[in-house]
Each structure stands twice: as C-alpha cells, then as structure tokens.
Amino acid sequence: MIDPTNELWGRRYACRWVKKMTEAQKHIRQYLAKIGRRGGSASRRELTKSHARQMVAIREMKRAAIKAGKSWPPRDRKLLKLT
C-alpha cells in the first residue's frame, strides 16, 4: 500500500551505483535505436493478389487433407499443385 505521508512518495528512486555512460556506449545506444526505428519498415513486404490466392489455396488444401485424414504436408511435394 502506498503511504502518502512517506517523504519518498511520488519521487523517483535513483540508483546511485549506476555509472554514467561513456561516449562509446552513447554511440552504440544511438546506433541500436536507429536500427530499431527502421527495422519494421525494412522487413515489411507487399503481398500481391496472386501470392495471396496461392496462400489461400494451400490453406484450403491443408484443411481438406486434415479433414480427410491424410498427412500434411504431402510427402511428395510434386503432388502439391496450385492453379
């Protein structure tokens, strides 16, 4: 329970044993922040209509195979044909 009569209530606790960052550490931190900012945008891809249709077809084939009691993925990849 928080005691508002406590003199430290509402203040941030500072760690006195934490050392200041060196210049090299600051540069590394800035570099990692830069990578993090662009990471999501670099890994995004655009999904074409044809690729999306192929993904749906594979998903439907998987459902049908599992429902029929067959193994998925098929042992012979040549049997997996998309139109």
Contacts 24+ apart (CB under 8 A), 23-29: none
Is position 18 within any domain?
A: no
Query: What average pLDDT does the segment 6-35 reach?
Result: 73
Decide if 81 contacts 58 (C-beta within 8 A). no
83 — pLDDT class (breaks 50, 70, 90): low
Whether the predicted pLDDT of 77 surpasses 90:
no
Q: 22-65, pLDDT tens digit by residue?
A: 888 889 999 988 888 777 665 667 788 998 999 999 899 889 98
Residue 4 within any structural domain of the chain: no
- Separation CA 25–CA 28 (nearest Å): 5
Residue 60 confidence (pLDDT): 93
Q: What is the pLDDT of residue 20?
A: 78
Q: Helices in the chain by DSSP H: which ranges?
A: 23-43, 49-67
* In-domain check, residue 56: yes
- Peptide bond between residue 74 and the one before it cis (omega within 30 degrees of 0): no
List the domain range (segments joined by +) for residue 53. Answer: 23-79
Our count of domains for the chain comes to 1
pLDDT at 18: 60
